[in-house]
Structure 1
């Protein structure tokens, strides 16, 4: 009887140790655990504005007090609200490698390096030679980010606004799964012919003060799997078999105790 109880207790302890060591600590799950107000973070948030770069596709909408004359300055992308995003991209203005767009009537306009508001004002100043009280709207048509790895819905996400944060992009992808490493998220950014790699700790509020909190066009986010994912994968079947065997042994020990 005493030996059976010792066997049962030993198996029970071993089983609990195996289960606990295979689990991810919940302290690594919540985002921004040390979040608080910082002037540096607020400065980054308040000062961010995306700028026009080579290979951007822009929707440029022009209006004025003379609608008939204004038609000459608009493209299909701005004349129809029923076009799909793909069609609007085809009809939009492509920024060339030198930052110029070629517009009807007024010709080449240097918009590279400008924000959308600055680009609108630049075009508007040029249009005053042709239209009465022109109004110009400039928007990005090819702003999209990719979210890959351990998220609920990996994929490529078009962004309709002028900005998106890292947290918002993860939200679009259904958030990081329980198997994702939150403290080592990889961000890949390509700008002006160079590629940048950044490792971001989503558990820390320091992310708010980095240049990666607001995403840029074409950014790629990758969430790597944690050890729990590896343990539960097909390549680690022995761990799963061991857990099953421990369960059977625990049941056998309980039965043996009941018989005695």
Structure 2
């Protein structure tokens, strides 16, 4: 085997090495479209929907409460202290029975519970919480995963901060946000590096959104460079051996 034959193998080795490329997390799909990121600067109140997990807290009335924030035990989805909005959009309240809340905002549903319990007690103080409102944050953040939305309005910057903030290779110029509108998937791309602080703090996420902070290109390049090292070492060793043999 001649040294020249060794170098004929180089394209094949490189092809094997680069056969697996880093894929974009959100590939374009037939049911998806690109949205204008400025749409994120407006938000609408959350509306209750089937399968929502809701806690009902009535001040000084544990018998009417489920997962009360006023009690000695914390309201927590993990411990099952919640009511489920059924397929018809109704809650099964203690003592009063079914109450239609599907499609209502949290404020409107709270008012409906107050009216319902006013038949039993004078001037009830009620707090309603939806426990399963989440945004999923993926990519180059320190703590990727689901983020529970405790407030009515939550900014993109706040959610990224709760995910631990951008990691070393994060590309803040290409932040992706996926949102479902009916059966349509909308993708927004935001360049946080070109926005003012006021603009950054005025981008609002909604329950069900997926936020992806992609890596910079240099991360892929560094990974590919590192993966070439073993091949380079093999080629060097073969070159030395063939040089010795050919003498």
Q: Name which of 30, 44, 56 aligns with 1:60.
A: 56
CA-atom RMSD in angstroms? 3.3
Question: 1:238: Cα distance to partner?
Answer: 7.4
Q: How big is each residue's C-alpha offset from its partner over 1:93-151, in whole Å with a ceiling of 9 and x where there is no partner?
A: 11123321111122111212222221111111122221111121111211222211111
Alignment of 1:110-129 (within 5 A): 110-129=100-119
Change (3 A) 1:60 1:160: same
If the length of structure 2 is used for normalisation, what is the TM-score? 0.65
If the length of structure 1 is used for normalisation, what is the TM-score? 0.62
Listed as ranges, the gaps of 5+ residues in structure 2 are 1-37, 231-247
Listed as ranges, the gaps of 5+ residues in structure 1 are 1-39, 242-260
Question: 1:178: Cα distance to partner?
Answer: 4.1
Q: Contact conserved, 2:178 with 2:186, CA < 8 A, in 1?
A: yes
Aligned partner of 1:157 in structure 2 is 147
Q: After TM superposition, where is structure 1 displaced by more than 3 Å over at least 4 residues in a row?
A: 40-43, 76-84, 190-196, 204-210, 238-241
Separation (CA, whole Å) in 1 of partners of 2:83 and 2:181: 19
Aligned partner of 1:141 in structure 2 is 131
Separation (CA, whole Å) in 2 of partners of 1:84 and 1:113: 23
The answer to whether residue 171 in structure 2 is matched with residue 181 in structure 1 is yes
Q: Name which of 45, 70, 88 aligns with 1:49.
A: 45
Q: Contact conserved, 1:41 with 1:209, CA < 8 A, in 2?
A: no
Match of 1:52, SS state, is coil
